[in-house]
Amino acid sequence: MEALLFANGVHTQRDERFWRVLPYELIIAVDGGLHRLREMNMHPHVYVGDEDSVHPDWIAALEREGIRILRFPREKDQTDLELAALYAVEQGAEVLHFFGALGGRWDQSLANLFLALHPKLRGRRLYFYADGQVLFPIYRHAVVRGKPGDTVSFLPLEGPVRGVTLKGFRYVLQDGEFLPGSTLGISNVLEAEEGVVDIRQGVLLGIHLPQDVQKQIEAGKHSIEQEV
């Protein structure tokens, strides 16, 4: 089962091209992420949160629609997104797509990425969408699909990461090693429509940057420089 989780971080139009084509059986509004779903006229199957970022009328509307509401106290040991991700897994989700989980607050963004190391989430396919880019943990094996020329970077998320083999990329690797703090895996490039990653030990974080998104980012940089 695949689940879409909409959190209260940054949402952009670049990410819409992903969620509009993704297969899913479960949509979870994670607290203030409900606002984004309302903007898109989408209805969640479940709301998870402490209600500190939503209007009471929104919750009342969910109740009238018969949508399940999982309320939690504002003072707690877990974030709303962690609770939502664990709920999705309990419902049988093997693939979790996170929208609005990154951007804005660095503490929240990093904590959300580190959910990939949660004992109950490890081994599942997790995808974090961030303004047209896709971040995903690699535990043992992954296939990166895109267009030749797309940039794909790899960082040790739990390292050192050993026994790394990269195929289908410009910079291939056979039984290599990524050490914490190393930038060895930055700015690799897809040579085909699929790149294959295998690792023996540790967890890698993959970051896929499509060419069109990279061009838009670069154009934005030049625009700012000209204004200055």
Q: What is the pLDDT of residue 96?
A: 98
Average pLDDT in the chain: 92
User: Confidence band (pLDDT; 50, 70, 90) for 223?
Assistant: low
Determine how many CB atoms are found less than 10 A away from the CB of residue 219: 10
Check: CB of residue 26 under 8 Å from CB of residue 6.
Answer: no
Q: Is 10 in the same domain as 123?
A: yes
Structural domain for 179, as ranges: 138-227
Burial 191-210 (b: 16+ CB within 10 A, else e): beeebebbbeebbbbbbbbb
Q: What is the pLDDT of residue 47?
A: 96
SS3 state at 86: helix
**Nearest Cα residue to 29 out of 60, 12, 6:** 6
**Nearest Cα residue to 30 out of 50, 14, 56, 16:** 50
CA distances from 204 to 1, 53, 92, 141, 151 (A): 24, 33, 24, 10, 16
**Matching residue, tokens 């420089």:** 225
User: Confidence band (pLDDT; 50, 70, 90) for 225?
Assistant: low
pLDDT, tens digit, 9 for 90 and up, residues 99-127: 999 988 899 999 999 999 999 999 899 99
pLDDT, tens digit, 9 for 90 and up, residues 170-218: 999 999 999 999 999 999 999 999 999 999 999 999 999 999 888 887 8
Arithmetic mean of pLDDT, 122-141: 95
User: Confidence band (pLDDT; 50, 70, 90) for 16?
Assistant: confident
- Least-confidence region, from 71-85, 86-100, 193-207: 71-85
Q: What is the pLDDT of residue 116?
A: 96
Check: CB of residue 208 under 8 Å from CB of residue 150.
Answer: yes
Determine how many CB atoms are found less than 10 A away from the CB of residue 88: 25
What is the total count of domains within the chain?
Answer: 2
Q: Is 158 in the same domain as 187?
A: yes
Determine how many CB atoms are found less than 10 A away from the CB of residue 9: 23
Q: Is 21 in the same domain as 115?
A: yes
Report the CATH number that the domain containing residue 80 is assigned in CATH: 3.40.50.10240
Q: What is the pLDDT of residue 226?
A: 53
Q: pTM here?
A: 0.91
Q: Is 27 in the same domain as 126?
A: yes
Q: Is 150 in the same domain as 194?
A: yes
Q: Is 9 in the same domain as 101?
A: yes
Whether the per-residue pLDDT at 68 is higher than 80: the answer is: yes
Check: CB of residue 48 under 8 Å from CB of residue 84.
Answer: yes
Q: Is 15 in the same domain as 114?
A: yes
Q: Which of 107, 131, 155 is the last residue of a domain?
A: 131
Q: Is 107 in the same domain as 174?
A: no
Residue 43's identity, in one-letter code, is H
Whether the per-residue pLDDT at 227 is higher than 90: the answer is: no
Percent of the chain with pLDDT over 70: 96
Q: Is 221 in the same domain as 111?
A: no
Token pair belonging to 178: 């990524």
Q: Is 76 in the same domain as 167?
A: no
Q: Is 185 in the same domain as 168?
A: yes
Whether the per-residue pLDDT at 8 is higher than 80: the answer is: yes
